[in-house]
Amino acid sequence: MFENSILPEGRASGVASVILRTVIGLDFAYYVLSFFPWIINSGFANRLFNPHHTYGFRSDFLWIVFSTIAIFFAMFGFIPNFKESRRARMNVYLCLASIAAFPIYIFWLLLSWKGGI
């Protein structure tokens, strides 16, 4: 039944689900907080996400970019069990929601950076 699956149902799949859902939860929390200018513009975000920059990028921005890439590839581990497993379906839907939220965040970031909002 799970011959083609990368993550069979069981302990490994449960740990992978917890880690994946934690990363997605952190991303969604950041997306929500980014819509409040008093958090992002007050310096609180810099103190929270490390005031140092890496090649000109803030650490929170790098986290969002690399975690979205990781979520995209992690989603493929749950697709083979999509029909049989409720956990796999929920993980795929959460991955898709997180991947869809990323361009919305980038659009918001560009609008707020240019002074559009």
- Answer yes or no: is 5 within a domain: no
Domain that includes residue 104, residue range: 17-113
Could you tell me the CA-to-CA distances from 6 to 29, 39, 41, 48 in Å, in that order? 29, 40, 42, 36
Residue 43 confidence class, pLDDT cut points 50, 70, 90: low
Is 1 among the domain residues?
no
Q: Is residue 2 part of a domain?
A: no
pTM recorded for the entire structure: 0.78
Mean pLDDT of 59-84: 91
Residue 60 within any structural domain of the chain: yes
Q: Percent of the chain at pLDDT above 70?
A: 69
Give the pLDDT mean for 32-50.
Answer: 70
Quick check: 8 pLDDT over 60? no
Report CA-CA distances (Å) from 108 to 25, 26, 50, 113, 114: 19, 18, 22, 8, 10
Q: Is the pLDDT of residue 39 over 60?
A: yes
Give the C-alpha separation, 15 to 67, whole Å: 17
* pLDDT band (50, 70, 90) for residue 103: very high
Q: Indicate whether 30 belongs to any domain.
A: yes
Quote the mean pLDDT of the chain: 80
Q: How many domains does the chain have?
A: 1
